[in-house]
Structure 1
Amino acid sequence: MNHTPHTLLINPTITSRSSARFPLALLHLSTTLDRDGSSRIIDGNMDRDFVDKTLHALDERSCTAVGISVMGGPQIEPAIAVSQAIRAHRPDVPIVWGGYFPTLYTETALRAPYVDYAIRGQGEDSMPELIAALHAGDTAKLPTINGLSWLRDGELVHNASRPFSRNGPPVVLPYDKLGDPRRYLARTFLGRRTAAHQASVGCRFRCTFCGVAAMFGGATALPPMARLERDLQYLKYELGADSIQYFDHNFFDREQDMIPLLEIMARYELPWWCYARADALLNLSESTWKLVRKSKLRMAYIGAESASPSMLKEIRKGTRPDQTLAVAELCRRQGVIPELSFMVAPPENTEEETEHTFEFIRELKRVNPQSEIIVYVYTPLPESSKHEKDRGKRASTPLRDQQGEPLVFPSTPEEWTQKQWVDYACHADAPWLNDKLRRRIHDFVTVLRCRYPTVQDLRSPTWAKRTLAAAASWRYRLRRYDSPWELNLANRIVRLRMPQVSGL
């Protein structure tokens, strides 16, 4: 046995190479594992043969365990594939699932014969403790590891949840474990070499539909100024990044806490994109907006969610439709593009709410034509997947399918790979939608994105986007969304970029 534990960390394929970004979760996890051992990262987004590469890595060096980061949706299938391959090739090596999916669907993950342990929430403290216990063969330690779920004699055991950790990495993330980290710098509308980064973690808001709220329970942690400066210095001067895509769950928190961070970003002047809230941006003072402009914020992704005040209240969003309109106007004045996301087709008043949202989007476009619009289908989390603090707090109408039957969520990872559930996880479809409304949403989105092509599309030639915008203008003006056959045909040739599918 090696004197120190060694962990293999896997990021199963979830996107194309061109859309691949730093696997930040595994990089953060690796820094903590390396304090008392070592780790290796295999990224399926870059290495398409990541299953074979994983098996070779297990042959090359003894491993204490394999940790697999699992999101919902399209990442489930490759996560299953690599887990099954590991189990068949090396049945003695423990398999640990961590991330969004095993946190929200813990029992579902552990029902699989190829998952031995599940880490709920943050793994930076739980995973090293688990690896240390496994390396020492000390199974008596397992019940003491907060945030761990596991099987004991065939019975599911859920240890106490781990408190939110505000400790960030003490050193620059080990980007060299990814091979050449520069291959992750992408050409985007922000710049030619856009780097992904996460400064803060969590969100202090508790939206009932949000996986971030389920993961972190309304907590957030901002980075120390020195750490942000250290990271930006490395990304800009060592890797050559010329812009940043911040994956912070909610970048703008309280203004007084943001000012020191914005002052650092203003010095580096790296154009950036982030997630934000309408109320937070509206509450910024003019002096802070001056810093925001100097730091070169180009686009803010804002969860508008709904045009209905009652729905916003129901999902505990904490914002209002008038604030959405106000922030679109504010962004226009400040030179920032608002990327506004909406959730249509809720389980109740499905068609009425959807048409109301369409009209609200048109109003937003009148206020600020540069507003980018992302349309999702509203697919709420099951009650069992919410954070333990939020379960059962308010009675909600049971979800039902088109036939009026209660919605039964998958009980195994394999069931989550079925198209209907992949679409549900990706907010692309819901069991209560009928074909007519499904087509209506698709047609509206087609007309909207042809009439207003996204600035994020660098692939489609300008003439093609202008031609499509002109072709869609009469439909948009007259609200003739149904069966836009000519736009669908043109899209097969031009293939406009869809940010809700491909991201930045």
Structure 2
Amino acid sequence: MTSTPRTLLINPTITSRSSARFPLSLLHLAAAVDRQGSSEIIDGNIERDITGATLQMLEQGGFDAVGVSVMGGPQMAPSIEVSKAIRARFPALPIIWGGYFPTLYTDTALGAPYVDYAIRGQGEESLPELLAALGRPQAELGRIGGLSWKQDGVIVHNPNRRFSLGDNGLVLPYDKLGDPRQYLARTFLGRRTAAHQAAIGCRFRCTFCGVAAMFGGTTQLPAAARLERDLSYLKYELGADSIQFFDHNFFDREEDMIPLLEVMAKLEMPWWCYARSDALLKLSESTWKLVRKSRLRMAYIGAESPSGQMLKEIRKGTRPDQTLQVAELCRRNGVIPELSFMVAPPENTEAETVQTFEFIRELKRINPESEIIVYIYTPLPESSRHEKDRAKRPGQVLRDIHGEPVVFPGTPEEWMQPQWVNYACHADAPWLDDKLRKHIHDFVTVLRCRFPTVQDLRSPPWAKRGLSAMAAWRYRHRKYDRPWELNLANRLVKLRLPQVSGL
């Protein structure tokens, strides 16, 4: 290892080139690594031959380690492919996995022969310390918080590291992405929408949420000066005209939010963010005035369920009546609520699903502009929950359609199987039967045709109006099953699916 380590950071392909957004996690890591070394970034969402581009760059030499950001679902296959290729061509080069997958499934990741180290949670401090320790006595590895590694074939888990939101005074190294303007996308927010993350973490501990498992119920908000500096760069240097916040929960306590909203109001860039119904309902009228001035266009709100009992079981911390209230509140303030629901839980699967469909209809009555996203409820296994939450309210034993206990994959390759990709994406679950699976699909088809999303800029307005008219009678009379005519029309129109493609 050289005195100034050089690291290749890889974001495996997870979406189309047109849907690519800034790989924010790698930009933050690069900024941290570059304090005492140097780094390069390969983004598979832009560079479509991620394996070929990686090997070509490594052939040039001079790299001391490779870091791969890995999320479950469709990113598993390219993550495995590129890691295997690196191991085959450069067997001595350390391969480090970080991100949600190795945080939630650490032993599974490290069980693979092409993964040497796994960083759990935030990596801005752990990764530079690991790079500095490579090639030195193994005792130094044991002092790195948030690191899991192999010692003589045995997996070692170091204590967790408390995460932080340090400000090094530098703008993220966007220049490492080539022309960063290629990441500015046309969305319903504007012609040049930029992705940004201000706050990190979330104070709440929903049992199905990877954020809760990674950050353990803590959150950090940025200083207003930092937010203004970062967004000013995006607006005045790169030409961004709108912002999609990737914060885990943008709205926290009102007193902490006001300085950030003042920055947004000053910059006047239409924006989208994640939010909670209870947090929005607690805002004073003066703060809502600031929200309106800031030009917030849409807030993604996890409604999850109309069942108060289920919301308690998943530790959501909100109530169904708050979901109804926030839909009306957003309507009055010109904000579109994008409400997500988790249907088909393991218990009372069909009844809970039908109840959710009726609740969605009530929301659309209160605020017709409400956007609805329907997912399958797929909780994390107990072993993936944050250490603070394990053994607290132990989750129920999950059973498949045959009544047998659900056995989660034990290798990264098994997580590539379609049923587990769907599970990671909240698109299917082992306890669903074909009848209910089809009913959910048909309901969503009728709903999205009756109320096409405002986020769809690709489909012509006349086509969306036509589909809405075609779906009107089905929606009015609750005739969801077998919408053959809508499925046929969708082959031609291909409405955008926000739960798949986002903005």
Tell me which residue corresponds to 2:132. Answer: 132
Tell me which residue corresponds to 1:50. Answer: 50
Could you say what secondary structure the match of 1:67 adopts? Answer: strand
What CA deviation, in whole Å up to 9, does each residue of 1:47-89 have, x standing for no partner? 0012111111111132111000000000000000000000001
Tell me which residue corresponds to 2:277. Answer: 278
Q: CA deviation at 1:138?
A: 3.7
Tell me which residue corresponds to 1:165. Answer: 164
1:194 aligns with 2:219: no
- Equivalent AA in structure 1 for residue 452 of structure 2: P
- Equivalent AA in structure 1 for residue 442 of structure 2: D
User: Contact 2:70–2:102 at 8 Å: present in 1 too?
Assistant: yes
Tell me which residue corresponds to 2:75. Answer: 75
Tell me which residue corresponds to 2:179. Answer: 180
Tell me which residue corresponds to 1:343. Answer: 342
Tell me which residue corresponds to 1:105. Answer: 105
Could you say what secondary structure the match of 2:327 adopts? Answer: helix
Q: CA deviation at 1:172?
A: 0.3
> What CA distance in whole angstroms lies between the structure 2 residues aligned with 1:396 and 1:72?
21
> What CA distance in whole angstroms lies between the structure 2 residues aligned with 1:357 and 1:168?
43
> What CA distance in whole angstroms lies between the structure 2 residues aligned with 1:485 and 1:426?
26
Tell me which residue corresponds to 1:292. Answer: 291
Q: CA deviation at 1:430?
A: 0.1
> What CA distance in whole angstroms lies between the structure 2 residues aligned with 1:51 and 1:425?
23
- Equivalent AA in structure 1 for residue 139 of structure 2: A
- Equivalent AA in structure 2 for residue 176 of structure 1: D
User: Contact 1:108–1:412 at 8 Å: present in 2 too?
Assistant: yes
Q: CA deviation at 1:167?
A: 1.6
Tell me which residue corresponds to 1:489. Answer: 488
1:358 aligns with 2:357: yes
TM-score, length basis structure 1: 0.99
Q: CA deviation at 1:3?
A: 3.8
> What CA distance in whole angstroms lies between the structure 1 residues aligned with 2:187 and 2:165?
31
Q: CA deviation at 1:151?
A: 0.7
Tell me which residue corresponds to 1:252. Answer: 251
Unaligned ranges ≥5, structure 1: none
Matches for 1:29-428 after TM superposition, within 5 Å? 29-134=29-134, 136-428=135-427
Q: CA deviation at 1:221?
A: 0.4
Tell me which residue corresponds to 1:17. Answer: 17
Alignment coverage as a number of residue pairs: 503
Q: CA deviation at 1:465?
A: 0.2
Tell me which residue corresponds to 2:458. Answer: 459
* 408-417 or 57-66: bigger deviation: 57-66
- Equivalent AA in structure 1 for residue 138 of structure 2: T
- Equivalent AA in structure 1 for residue 198 of structure 2: A
> What CA distance in whole angstroms lies between the structure 1 residues aligned with 2:162 and 2:456?
41
User: Contact 1:269–1:296 at 8 Å: present in 2 too?
Assistant: yes
Could you say what secondary structure the match of 1:186 adopts? Answer: coil
> What CA distance in whole angstroms lies between the structure 1 residues aligned with 2:437 and 2:207?
24
Q: CA deviation at 1:169?
A: 4.5
- Equivalent AA in structure 1 for residue 125 of structure 2: D
> What CA distance in whole angstroms lies between the structure 2 residues aligned with 1:319 and 1:200?
21
Tell me which residue corresponds to 1:7. Answer: 7
Could you say what secondary structure the match of 2:53 adopts? Answer: helix
> What CA distance in whole angstroms lies between the structure 1 residues aligned with 2:121 and 2:110?
15
> What CA distance in whole angstroms lies between the structure 2 residues aligned with 1:169 and 1:11?
23
> What CA distance in whole angstroms lies between the structure 2 residues aligned with 1:70 and 1:100?
6
> What CA distance in whole angstroms lies between the structure 1 residues aligned with 2:139 and 2:169?
30
> What CA distance in whole angstroms lies between the structure 1 residues aligned with 2:26 and 2:387?
25
- Equivalent AA in structure 2 for residue 84 of structure 1: K
Could you say what secondary structure the match of 1:319 adopts? Answer: coil
> What CA distance in whole angstroms lies between the structure 1 residues aligned with 2:195 and 2:358?
34
User: Contact 1:472–1:487 at 8 Å: present in 2 too?
Assistant: yes
What CA deviation, in whole Å up to 9, does each residue of 1:439-473 have, x standing for no partner? 00000000000000000000000000000000000
Could you say what secondary structure the match of 1:413 adopts? Answer: coil
Q: CA deviation at 1:206?
A: 1.1
> What CA distance in whole angstroms lies between the structure 2 residues aligned with 1:474 and 1:118?
53
- Equivalent AA in structure 2 for residue 259 of structure 1: I
> What CA distance in whole angstroms lies between the structure 2 residues aligned with 1:413 and 1:350?
29
Flag the 1:265–1:5 CA change in 2: closer, same or farther, 3 A.
same
What CA deviation, in whole Å up to 9, does each residue of 1:17-62 have, x standing for no partner? 1111000000001011000000000000000012111111111132
User: Contact 1:110–1:117 at 8 Å: present in 2 too?
Assistant: yes
- Equivalent AA in structure 2 for residue 247 of structure 1: F
TM-score, length basis structure 2: 0.99
What CA deviation, in whole Å up to 9, does each residue of 1:465-484 have, x standing for no partner? 00000000000000000000
What CA deviation, in whole Å up to 9, does each residue of 1:134-174 have, x standing for no partner? 1x534331111110001111101001111122324531000
- Equivalent AA in structure 2 for residue 483 of structure 1: R
What CA deviation, in whole Å up to 9, does each residue of 1:308-340 have, x standing for no partner? 000001111111010000000000000000000
- Equivalent AA in structure 2 for residue 79 of structure 1: S
> What CA distance in whole angstroms lies between the structure 2 residues aligned with 1:185 and 1:201?
22
Q: CA deviation at 1:493?
A: 0.4
Structure 1 runs of 4+ with >2 Å offset: 136-140
Q: CA deviation at 1:364?
A: 0.2
Tell me which residue corresponds to 1:480. Answer: 479
User: Contact 1:133–1:141 at 8 Å: present in 2 too?
Assistant: yes
User: Contact 2:382–2:394 at 8 Å: present in 1 too?
Assistant: no
Could you say what secondary structure the match of 2:479 adopts? Answer: coil
- Equivalent AA in structure 2 for residue 57 of structure 1: M
Could you say what secondary structure the match of 1:8 adopts? Answer: strand
User: Contact 2:7–2:65 at 8 Å: present in 1 too?
Assistant: yes
Could you say what secondary structure the match of 2:41 adopts? Answer: strand
> What CA distance in whole angstroms lies between the structure 1 residues aligned with 2:483 and 2:226?
50
> What CA distance in whole angstroms lies between the structure 2 residues aligned with 1:391 and 1:398?
14
User: Contact 1:28–1:169 at 8 Å: present in 2 too?
Assistant: no
What CA deviation, in whole Å up to 9, does each residue of 1:329-355 have, x standing for no partner? 000000000000000000000000000
User: Contact 2:382–2:395 at 8 Å: present in 1 too?
Assistant: no
Q: CA deviation at 1:396?
A: 2.9
- Equivalent AA in structure 2 for residue 37 of structure 1: G
User: Contact 2:109–2:412 at 8 Å: present in 1 too?
Assistant: yes
> What CA distance in whole angstroms lies between the structure 2 residues aligned with 1:352 and 1:294?
42
> What CA distance in whole angstroms lies between the structure 2 residues aligned with 1:264 and 1:342?
31
> What CA distance in whole angstroms lies between the structure 1 residues aligned with 2:9 and 2:184?
21
- Equivalent AA in structure 2 for residue 265 of structure 1: M
Could you say what secondary structure the match of 2:302 adopts? Answer: strand
